[in-house]
Structure 1
């Protein structure tokens, strides 16, 4: 699991992760994945105001996978409550489609299934949530 970040991007990412951890209640790898998804979407879509952003997440609706949702909500302000985040159940895949109105742009981000399997294996071997979360940063 390797992701490339500049020093400045990494500092910003760590601040976003801490904010998401406060919302979520604890730190874990799927929360970090959600934060990364939200940050990548905002950067690629050049989001300046989150009021125009919408997201549809397709994920397995069980923990730890559903933790991705809190990372997305924390970074994008697309939430279930403001109805800017729609959720669909998935058996395996984790994908999020973002839609930005004016200009009308869409972006679909998926999590590599190999990363999910690797995380599940490390959990079964006794790795902690925090340990795995910081490996994803």
Structure 2
């Protein structure tokens, strides 16, 4: 019997999760920042960022194939030990929480500026 049967995601869910994160961060805020910093050569880091994202996803899939019954936290504690694995998991959790906060903040800002300019930001959150 699988330990985390109710928490499994399919390959398509994983693909859509990665795609949603890339669209949420990349499409909403990346073009303006990239154009300000890199100018006309901004397409080169976009291709390298996409390639790095795809390679890291494939590495994660291959590593998880060797340990199919565990979660990422189990994998980290298995390879790095209890304390280091939990420290890495905590750092990853903080990183993803900050990215989620950034995406939510930017989404509210864009909705507030383009769609409903007279509405306060706290009204859009509720």
TM superposition score category, shorter chain reference = under 0.3
* Larger RCO, structures 1/2 (Cα 8 Å, 6+ apart): 1
Q: Which has the higher strand share?
A: 1
Q: Specify the structure having the higher radius of gyration (Cα).
A: 2
The normalised TM-score by structure 2 is 0.27
